């Protein structure tokens, strides 16, 4: 059976094969500017989320509502606050309004014009945006801040987060692109939130999405784990007008008079269009707009945050300003509870539970927890002078979070290696939500670490949970706009893990997904070939004649493997490894001449990938054995041992070859050496079938760097 954990080999120099990382939060990378971006306004970078006051006091914002009305007049005695399950004494309750950060998402996709033939006027679009911004801004207080994001082909930050008083009118706004509603909403939800502020996302949309990588259920999932208040306003009249224009211009007034003046994006993207609501004519000029499944998911997303999806009532249609006015004044009436944690560990993740026993029917909304980072959390300091707690492997989920908070990956890795079954960790991560709400990438990195442990668990159920964890997070880490460096590295780390399992059926969907995001990535192309290669049945390293391919299906599979390795051979980053692996595959299917020809093309004398340099010679020896050239095999195995002294695989292979050449005494001496070799020396061969798993630590190191 496969051992729980394969040998992980990190060659002396691990190839760095992807672009330089972009150390940015997912949510901080809206495309900035647009035609009307104010000049000279620095992007406001949020501070790390710690929720700590000057002393050890903690403040928690709590909104209490009963039948959509804010419950006022509550005192400290009315609240029960549990910090990591320990009831806390609330020192003060402040009901002063909480400063808000408002992100206004405006749908500028589709047809912003009258007729199709009318030119787009960016200035006119800017005027409309300015008016909406003005309506919101006039309700904000000096301490509040506003950000404006346009949702069209890309989510574009028109106005960076800033006090309303400093916002300059936009002069021109580009519009008319495709609709990226879900991506833009996710981007807004993932914006970092500063301590003691509340983030409100107000989305005004016509309810269509044509290009998002994110789905409406994904929006719902992310919303459920965020601390954002989300309100969605359906611009039904605009949607109806657009629909009417579309019918007239594109489809024609009658079936015989088709103008063909389709709005290009609509015309091309209709097959991919997703809608949150349908448009059902009610009669002259009127439409009914029942929510479709996507709309219901979006509505649920808003509800989960304490917000709502707003549609037209009988005689009124909501506007962003109207929603803001009606809902947020109440929401703003949050309580700020202040307490000094007692009976709970200071550092690490703190799960919070707030209730109001005297109002059992009230809805109490508070963030689900907070993290305190240890002051001595500098990674390098830990490396040389670990804090007392850091020297011990975390034994609980909370301790694990705490260790991860202070970048003590050594302790985390040690804990995960020793955990009998990481299943509870996976479930806890699900239930608790992101321990670092302002740093979604950190949670995504932790998910990788836990998933690696889970996938190599001996329990099938745990393996399934780990697989699902990866599936979930590979959706969450997608940049709303376009694939970025973090996603690339995260996916690489993910692929190293699933390849390590040597379960091609498990790995294949992950590889396919990675290639949809990064079609040209050499390591992903090679991973595809490796996984397809793994699908070929093999018995150890056995290249027996019984395995010679027969039948159309198997020949087809072999051709597929060769073609996929061929794609990786074309790329300089993976050419050597792809050739070596292709050669081994060809050997296994009985094509030793072709295998040798592949190895003859390998130029690895100066290669830093010592694993592949070794395997090249090991495989060359086996192929020569297959061709009956035993002396050449002996030479190749000796070269392999020069490249990786002490490797058992080459020693055994050399011993076999010596036996075949009649040199029994030498063979016996080699057998003696094999059996008495000290220690547990590394052997690159043991890593071969685990594909890129040998790079797991390297990939994780990069991911960890990117979350700091």
Partner 1 sequence: MVAIAVALGLMKDPRATSAQSPLQDPAQRPTFRIAIDAVRVEVSVRNRDKSVTGLQAPDFELLDNDVRQEIADLTYGKMPIDITIALDVSYSVTGAMLGRLRRAVVELMRDLGPEDRLKLVLFNNRITRTVDFTRDVRAVERAMSAAVAGGGTVVFDTIGVALVSALNPEHRQLVVCFTDGEDTNSTTGAEELIGVARRTRATLALVMPPSAPRPRGASMSRRDELYGTLVAETGGSRINIVPSSNLTDTFRRILEDFRSAYVIHFRPQGVDRTGFHTLRVSVRREGANVLARRGYFGG
* Residues at the site binding partner 1, with contacts judged by CB under 8 A: 1-4, 6-7, 539-547, 618, 622, 625-626, 648-650, 652-653, 655-656, 659-660, 662, 664, 667-668, 670-672, 674-677, 680-681, 683, 685-686
Nearer to partner 1, 140 or 625 (CB): 625
* CA neighbor of 161 nearest in space, from 51, 323, 50, 42: 42
CB of 672 to partner 1, least distance (A): 6
Q: How many CA atoms lie within 13 Å of 13's alpha carbon, on the beta-carbon side?
A: 8
Radius of gyration of the chain (CA): 30
CB of 630 to partner 1, least distance (A): 9
Question: What would the two tokens of residue 144 be?
Answer: 């509040």
CA dihedral for 35, 36, 40, 42, sign (positive or negative): negative
Quickly count: other Cβ atoms within 10 Å of residue 636's Cβ. Answer: 26
Nearer to partner 1, 512 or 664 (CB): 664
Nearer to partner 1, 683 or 692 (CB): 683
Nearer to partner 1, 39 or 680 (CB): 680
- Reading phi first (left if > 0) and then psi (alpha if -120 to 50, else beta), residue 13 is in beta
Nearer to partner 1, 63 or 653 (CB): 653
DSSP string, 157-210: EEEEEEEGGGPPPPS-----B---HHHHHHHHHTS---TT-EEEEEEEE-SEES
Nearer to partner 1, 525 or 667 (CB): 667
CB of 525 to partner 1, least distance (A): 26
CB of 643 to partner 1, least distance (A): 15
Pair 171, 36: CB distance under 8 Å = yes
DSSP string, 298-364: HHHHHHHTT-EEE---SS----HHHHIIIIIHHHT--EEEEE---SS-SSEEEEEEEE-TT-TTSEE
CB of 619 to partner 1, least distance (A): 10
**Those residues with Cβ within 8 angstroms of residue 55's Cβ, 6 or more apart along the chain or in another chain:** 340
CB of 668 to partner 1, least distance (A): 5
Quickly count: other Cβ atoms within 10 Å of residue 678's Cβ. Answer: 6
Pair 109, 205: CB distance under 8 Å = no
Nearer to partner 1, 299 or 615 (CB): 615
**Phi, psi (degrees; rounded to nearest 5) at 279:** -120, 110
Pair 422, 450: CB distance under 8 Å = yes
**Phi, psi (degrees; rounded to nearest 5) at 237:** -65, -45
Nearer to partner 1, 131 or 631 (CB): 631
CB of 600 to partner 1, least distance (A): 21
Pair 685, 647: CB distance under 8 Å = yes
Nearer to partner 1, 246 or 622 (CB): 622
CB of 658 to partner 1, least distance (A): 9
**Phi, psi (degrees; rounded to nearest 5) at 292:** -90, 175
Nearer to partner 1, 497 or 653 (CB): 653
CB of 638 to partner 1, least distance (A): 15
Nearer to partner 1, 567 or 659 (CB): 659
User: In the chain, how long is the greatest CA-to-CA distance?
Assistant: 100
Question: What would the two tokens of residue 196 be?
Answer: 């003691």
d(CA 651, CA 655): 6
CB of 652 to partner 1, least distance (A): 4
CB of 551 to partner 1, least distance (A): 15
Nearer to partner 1, 292 or 674 (CB): 674
CB of 666 to partner 1, least distance (A): 10
d(CA 579, CA 586): 10
Q: Buried b vs exposed e over 516-550: b needs ≥16 C-beta within 10 Å?
A: ebbeebbbbbbbbbbbbbbebeeeebebeeebebe
CB of 618 to partner 1, least distance (A): 7
CA dihedral for 83, 86, 91, 96, sign (positive or negative): positive
Nearer to partner 1, 10 or 682 (CB): 682
């Amino acid at each position: 059976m496969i051992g729980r954990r394969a040998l992980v080999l990190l060659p002396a120099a691990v190839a760095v094969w992807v672009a330089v990382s972009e150390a940015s939060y997912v949510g901080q990378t809206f495309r900035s500017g647009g035609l009307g971006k104010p000049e000279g306004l620095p992007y406001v970078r949020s501070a790390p989320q710690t929720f700590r006051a000057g002393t050890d006091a903690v403040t928690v914002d709590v909104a209490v509502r009963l039948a959509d009305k804010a419950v006022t007049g509550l005192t400290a005695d009315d609240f029960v606050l549990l910090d990591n399950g320990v009831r806390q004494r609330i020192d003060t309750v402040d009901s002063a309004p909480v400063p808000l950060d408002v992100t206004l998402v405006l749908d500028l996709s589709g047809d912003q014009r009258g007729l199709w033939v009318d030119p787009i006027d960016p200035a006119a679009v800017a005027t409309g945006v300015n008016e909406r911004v003005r309506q919101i801004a006039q309700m904000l207080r000096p301490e509040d801040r506003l950000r404006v994001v346009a949702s069209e082909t890309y989510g574009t930050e028109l106005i960076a987060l800033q006090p309303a008083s400093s916002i300059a009118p936009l002069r021109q706004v580009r519009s008319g692109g495709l609709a990226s509603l879900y991506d833009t909403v996710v981007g807004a939800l993932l914006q970092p939130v500063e301590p003691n502020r509340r983030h409100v996302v107000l989305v005004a949309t016509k309810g269509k999405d044509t290009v998002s990588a994110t789905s409406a259920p994904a929006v719902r999932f992310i919303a459920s784990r965020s601390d954002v208040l989300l309100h969605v306003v359906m611009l039904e009249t605009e949607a109806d007008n657009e629909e009417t224009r579309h019918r007239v211009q594109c489809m024609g007034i009658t079936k015989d008079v088709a103008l063909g003046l389709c709005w290009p994006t609509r015309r091309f993207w209709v097959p991919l269009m997703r809608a949150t609501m349908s448009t059902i004519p009610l009669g002259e000029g009127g439409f009914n707009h029942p929510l479709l499944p996507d709309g219901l998911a979006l509505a649920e997303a808003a509800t989960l945050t304490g917000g709502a999806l707003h549609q037209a009532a009988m005689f009124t249609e909501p506007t962003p300003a109207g929603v803001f006015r009606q809902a947020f004044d109440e929401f703003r009436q949050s309580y700020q509870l202040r307490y000094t944690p007692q009976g709970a560990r200071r550092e690490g993740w703190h799960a919070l539970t707030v209730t109001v026993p005297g109002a059992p029917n009230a809805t109490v909304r508070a963030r689900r927890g907070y993290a305190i980072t240890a002051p001595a959390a500098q990674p390098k300091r830990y490396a040389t002078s670990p804090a007392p707690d850091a020297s011990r492997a975390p034994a609980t989920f909370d301790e694990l979070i705490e260790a991860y908070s202070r970048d003590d990956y050594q302790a985390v890795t040690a804990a995960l290696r020793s955990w009998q079954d990481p299943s509870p960790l996976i479930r806890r991560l699900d239930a608790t939500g992101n321990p670092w709400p302002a740093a979604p990438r950190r949670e995504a990195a932790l998910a990788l670490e836990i998933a690696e442990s889970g996938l190599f668990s001996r329990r099938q159920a745990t393996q399934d949970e780990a697989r699902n964890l990866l599936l979930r997070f590979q959706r969450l880490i997608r940049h709303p706009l376009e694939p970025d460096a973090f996603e690339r590295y995260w996916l690489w780390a993910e692929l190293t893990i699933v390849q390590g399992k040597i379960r091609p059926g498990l790995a294949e969907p992950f590889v396919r997904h990675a290639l949809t995001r990064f079609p040209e990535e050499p390591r992903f192309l090679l991973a595809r070939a490796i996984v397809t290669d793994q699908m070929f049945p093999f018995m150890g390293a056995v290249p027996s004649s019984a395995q010679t391919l027969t039948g159309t299906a198997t020949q087809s599979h072999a051709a597929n493997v060769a073609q996929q390795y061929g794609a990786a051979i074309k790329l300089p980053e993976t050419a050597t490894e792809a050739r070596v692996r292709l050669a081994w595959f060809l050997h296994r299917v009985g094509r030793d001449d072709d295998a040798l020809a592949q190895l003859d093309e390998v130029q690895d004398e100066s290669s830093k990938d010592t694993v592949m340099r070794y395997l090249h010679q090991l495989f060359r020896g086996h192929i020569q054995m297959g061709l009956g050239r035993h002396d050449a095999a002996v030479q190749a195995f000796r070269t392999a041992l020069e490249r990786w002294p002490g490797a058992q695989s080459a020693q055994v292979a050399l011993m076999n070859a010596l036996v075949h050449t009649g040199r029994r005494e030498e063979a016996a001496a080699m057998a003696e050496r094999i059996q008495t070799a000290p220690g547990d020396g590394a052997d690159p061969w043991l890593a071969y079938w685990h594909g890129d798993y040998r790079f797991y630590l390297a990939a994780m190191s990069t991911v960890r760097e990117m979350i700091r």
